[in-house]
Amino acid sequence: MPAMAAQPELFAENLLSTLHFERQAQARGFRAVAGIDEAGRGPLAGPVVAAAVILPACFDLPGLTDSKQLSARARERLYPLIRAQALAVGIGVARAEEVDRVNILQATLHSMQRAVGRLGMPADFLLIDGNVPVPIAIPQQTLVKGDSRSLSIAAASVIAKVVRDRIMVNYERLFPGYGFAGHKGYGSAAHLQAIARLGPSPCHRRTFGGVREHCAAP
């Protein structure tokens, strides 16, 4: 029984180590397979940041997995290694005002489109974290929990998270008092108290609960 219980974890590790989904696409004739993921759908402040990453066939980076499973220090260590080994990296951003204007799902898809468009080489196939395709004329496959099933998506998740965290640290300097460097815009108790005390900053999402209650009526 113990050996059987370990099998799912071993299978997941094998998928990552062998670039299973990337190689499936390559077997169908695609040559530039980009993994896509985002960071920042849930926070009350700051942008949604998406990344697209095309990895080489010989890519090997021990320790790379879903960014949510990694510490901030581990992500910062992996970030330059991914950028150095990847064939191409693209980053797309949808800022808070866009989230408020079009909603969080559409802003996320826009950021993913921008990330693909900013790759240094054209992608001919996309592996997308989640279950919603990106509205772009490139063959693609969605993968629920893709950041733990595809190495390209895992790489994109790290890139997106590190870039977004750095943006939020910069917002701490621009808009002091909210604690952005610590909670990165998520709805912690301290963040909610800061919004109630100071009112929303220019980088807050005014349509989100926890923020809209403190916005002046138009």
Q: For residues 164 and 111, what is the distance between their CA atoms, to the nearest angstrom? A: 12
Could you report the per-residue pLDDT of 142-196, keeping only the tens digit for each?
999 999 999 999 999 999 999 999 999 999 999 999 999 999 999 999 999 999 9
DSSP state of 214: G
pLDDT of residue 218: 62
pTM: 0.91
Domain spans of the chain, in order of start? 2-175
Q: Taking 60 as the threshold, does the pLDDT of residue 11 lie above it?
A: no
Q: For residues 92 and 117, what is the distance between their CA atoms, to the nearest angstrom? A: 8
Q: Which amino acid is at 128?
A: I
Mean pLDDT of 12-38: 85
Mutual angle of helices 7-18 and 151-174, in 10-degree steps: 80
CB within 8 Å of 153: residues ≥ 6 apart: 35, 36, 37, 127, 128, 129, 143, 146, 147
Where does 2-175 sit in CATH, by number? 3.30.420.10
Could you report the per-residue pLDDT of 102-115, keeping only the tens digit for each?
999 999 999 999 99
